[in-house]
Structure 1
Amino acid sequence: MKILHIANFGFNKQGAHFYCTDRKISAGLTENGHFVYDFSFRDMARMGTIFKTKKLGANWANKEVLKVVDNLEPDLVLVGHSDLMSPNVLKEIKQRYPQTKIAFWYVDWLCEEPKSSFIYDFLPYADAIFCTTGGELLKQYKTDNKKVAYIPNMVNSAVESLRQFEKDNYANELVFLGTIEKNSLREKFIFDTAQNLGIKMKCFGTFENNSVYGSEYIKVLSQSRMGLNYSRRNDIELYSSDRIAQLTGNGLLTFCPNIPNFNLLYTDDELVYFENAQDLLEKFKVYSEDINLSRSVAKKGWEKTHRAYNCKRVTKFMLETIYGDTCSEKYEWASYVY
């Protein structure tokens, strides 16, 4: 097929976010044998005005989308995030090319109404919607004529290429990478954990420590044995940030809170689940001292991530869902298709 992929590829980031989901989706679709034309909506919007402001240039970018559609006549238009895109563009595509399928993906949580409310505007024109949140928050987008489905955070073996469980020497015993909101519960949890572990834990992007991106981000992972996956909220069904894929996909032993139903994706011999801060500290001590156990769990988590959540397999699931095909294999998250 010819696929037009409209997402926020971040050309203005100069490659600092090369491991983000949008590029993995395009790579997966290509691996499945399709031609993918990438359209970076926010970057095009910035090009649409001399002020280089995406909101002011959004109208121009919307017109550019229709020009690309006319030139390409895609079989599928896949939209990721792109909150500045007008739903009227999708309406126009449906009118001009009624056989073209339209689908939407979203890899942030769905509990922030102002941030995700634009999805409702896309609903009348989308044949399928995919999100990294499951349960009732996902079901809210279900209508009679379209499917909504959960998708896991995905990896690309050319990006998540480390095998940390094979190494013997590490500069960092445990790392946390992520920007934390001031005076939040997550800030307190990470701060208390770091205080208790001392030099055994290093944080990046928090407590006045600089964030790392691009090759520096990968360098930190390459120096680390274990990683902490802790999102802003950890009580949302099946939701985790893409940190889970970056940690497990690079072979770090990954500590993860008991996210509701996350054991559908990873068993307790593939991740180290914890209930609270004290449980995390106790389990860290066990895995820090038992190197063989640590390597075993890290390796199994790495194997699960690359086998089950690689971008080729996840995008194959997306295409099968969009076109109503019978699933070609048993996907771990298949019960979350509504």
Structure 2
Amino acid sequence: MTSLRSRRILHIANFGYKAKGVYLHAMAAKFSNGWTRAGHNVIPFSDRDIARWAGFFGHRKWGVGPANRILLEVARNTAPEIIALGHADVIAPETVAELRRMLPGVKVLQWNIDPIFKEDEASSHDNIRRVLSKIDVVDATFVTTPGAPLAPFALPGKIAAFIPNAVDPSIERYRIFANASPGHDIFFAAGSGRFTRFHCGQHRLVDDLASDLVNARPEVRYYWAGVLGAPLVFGPGYDEALNDCWGGLNISRRNDYYLYSSERIAHYAGNGLVTFIDRANGYQDLFDEDSLAFYSTEDELYEQIARLKRDEAARRAMAEKGWRRYHELFDAAILGQYMIDVVEGTHNPARYPWPTVYTG
């Protein structure tokens, strides 16, 4: 059979049917869309949902075995050339090993967008364990932290690589910089205001960060979600909240790891918000100073917010430039093809301005 550039990809991830569609910005959907736009045939397999459907009384734990057996049937019927696992906790390593026996020559990758900071055991220990649980049966592992944190996954014969937070133009579909009169200024969402963040060189509670912002710049109209007692927002409500602001605070769990960020950076920059980001993240290596709002101290953050609130032309220009650059670098079609090239051993690091495969 003639070898074609197009690949058939079995994508095993959480596509969120239980949540009834509220996770509109899910990375699983972006990667599937990106592979499709890059010319590949994607077969989605929502492991957690299938386990629920197959389990007694809709309980996922009773459906784990059936979900693994169904996956083997799907693979047998579709004969994928690439299998991609995204946080596929329902699928056992033994099932992946059986897939490899069934499909000689298949390439298997896993992607993970949760933090892997050794210094932060509470948020990272379980995630590192989950990634390592399948390391023996995959060819390549992609995580959103480059450099030394990849070392545990770079075992002999295995590839460990950085994957940035993707944008997809059908998901990050807004040009918020074109909004003339938003109802608020600055957006920030967190799972809880009682979580800590390592920000500007120190550990801070999210609620304390927010309170200090309000005290330093009381004239700014903040849109909090999950912060200072404000409710979280999801689905279309999340998009509406972004569209009601001109800027977003990109404050991740840690802000001192090179190029690490939560996926909120894609939501903000990808939709055309001014994105405020700690210089310790290192994104100034990829973005000009007038495309993201960089700061090194919290006082500088306060000044940046005040300056851009006063200067509508400057903030709209910055937001548009950051939006264009983010889509240029991190479109899901580009990242999807990058993942295929890496797992197949054909990628050229010189094509990408970010660190790719970890080499020690």
TM-score for the superposition, normalised by structure 2: 0.89
1:54 and 1:21, CA in 2 relative to 1: closer, same or farther beyond 3 A?
A: same
Q: How many residues align?
A: 338
Provide the residue aligned with 1:189 in structure 2. Answer: 209
- SS of residue paired to 2:172: coil
Provide the residue aligned with 2:24 in structure 1. Answer: 18
1:84 and 1:326, CA in 2 relative to 1: closer, same or farther beyond 3 A?
A: closer
4+ runs of 1 displaced by more than 4 Å? Answer: none
- Quote the offset at 1:17 in angstroms: 0.4
Tell me which of 151, 165, 170 is aligned to 2:182.
170
Provide Cα deviations, 1:94-122, integer angstroms capped at 9, x if missing partner.
12212111000001111211233021121
Provide the residue aligned with 2:256 in structure 1. Answer: 235
Query: C-alpha distance in 1, partners of 2:91/2:48?
Result: 9
Indicate if the aligned counterparts of 1:151 and 1:333 stay in contact, CA closer than 8 A: no
Matched, 1:248 2:254: no
Structure 2 unaligned segments of length 5 or more: list them. 1-6, 118-123, 197-203
Structure 1 unaligned segments of length 5 or more: list them. none
Query: C-alpha distance in 1, partners of 2:261/2:159?
Result: 22
- Quote the offset at 1:203 in angstroms: 0.4
Question: Taking every aligned residue pair, what percent have the same amino acid on both sides?
Answer: 30
Provide the residue aligned with 2:38 in structure 1. Answer: 32
1:326 and 1:119, CA in 2 relative to 1: closer, same or farther beyond 3 A?
A: closer
Which stretch shows the higher mean deviation, 88-97 or 175-184?
175-184
- Quote the offset at 1:181 in angstroms: 5.1
- Quote the offset at 1:327 in angstroms: 2.8
Provide the residue aligned with 1:201 in structure 2. Answer: 222
Which stretch shows the higher mean deviation, 176-185 or 9-18?
176-185
Tell me which of 148, 154, 166 is aligned to 1:142.
154
For residues 1-338 of structure 1, the aligned pairs below 5 Å read 1-111=7-117, 112-180=124-192, 182=194, 184=196, 185-187=204-206, 188-198=208-218, 199-327=220-348, 330-338=351-359
Indicate if the aligned counterparts of 1:3 and 1:74 stay in contact, CA closer than 8 A: yes
- Quote the offset at 1:83 in angstroms: 2.0
- SS of residue paired to 1:140: helix
Query: C-alpha distance in 2, partners of 1:116/1:232?
Result: 16
Amino acid at match of 1:40: S
Query: C-alpha distance in 2, partners of 1:268/1:186?
Result: 28
Indicate if the aligned counterparts of 1:251 and 1:299 stay in contact, CA closer than 8 A: yes
Amino acid at match of 1:39: F
Query: C-alpha distance in 2, partners of 1:174/1:251?
Result: 13
1:267 and 1:144, CA in 2 relative to 1: closer, same or farther beyond 3 A?
A: farther
Query: C-alpha distance in 1, partners of 2:274/2:225?
Result: 18
TM-score for the superposition, normalised by structure 1: 0.95
Structural RMSD (CA): 1.7
Query: C-alpha distance in 2, partners of 1:142/1:328?
Result: 17
- SS of residue paired to 1:168: coil
